[in-house]
Amino acid sequence: HMKNKAIYVLLLLLPLALFAQPAPNPPPPVLFQQGMQAYNNQQFDAAIAAFTRFVNIKPNPEQKGPQKGGPNPAKKGEAYYYIGMSFLKKGNLDGAVENLSKSIEMRPDNPQAKLARGKIYVQQKKYDLAVGDLTAAANAMQQNEEAQFELAMAYAWQNNYQPAIDQFKKTLAIN
């Protein structure tokens, strides 16, 4: 009799297992918050996972409220920035450049992404690309010593010494 009961219960549960849906994503702000928490705790794989789920949320016209369009482009750009920075912290420069580029595409007003990508380009010995990004970052962040210094270094790596010297002077002039 016990065997029959087990078969009966199994037959009842089988359709549920077959039609089980994956858990829906939490609302976008919660996913973003999970990504930030993981990033701040240096759990970069978890940050990449949460932010990737966030940027991949598709617009849902049936949903009510502001979430029906999915995450807004500026917030998506910010998420790509943190995905890129997480890849950078893990030592994956190509993953970092790819995601920082997506961030810059969605948020051209974010000089931090250009600074980070420019520094990676220097590591990759892509000095022309580095100078482009670092010039934009240095122009946007006049008082940022790191942006000014990294641009000077990129010029020096290019063997472009006069702009490097001028840029080092600019860096030293910052309080």
pLDDT at 149 over 60: yes
pTM given for the model: 0.81
The one-letter amino acid at 19: F
CA distance linking residue 152 with residue 116, whole number of Å = 15
Residue range 70-103, pLDDT digits in tens: 778 889 999 999 999 999 999 999 999 999 999 9
What does the pLDDT look like over 106-146, one tens digit per residue?
A: 999 899 999 999 999 999 999 999 999 999 999 999 999 99
Amino acid at 14: L
Q: What is the pLDDT of residues 20-71, one digit of tens each?
A: 655 566 788 889 999 999 999 999 999 999 999 999 988 766 655 555 567 7
**Closest C-alpha among 106, 111, 112, 52 to residue 83:** 52
For residue 86 the two structure tokens come to 């997480």
Q: What pLDDT sits at residue 6?
A: 74
Q: Identify the pLDDT of residue 63.
A: 59
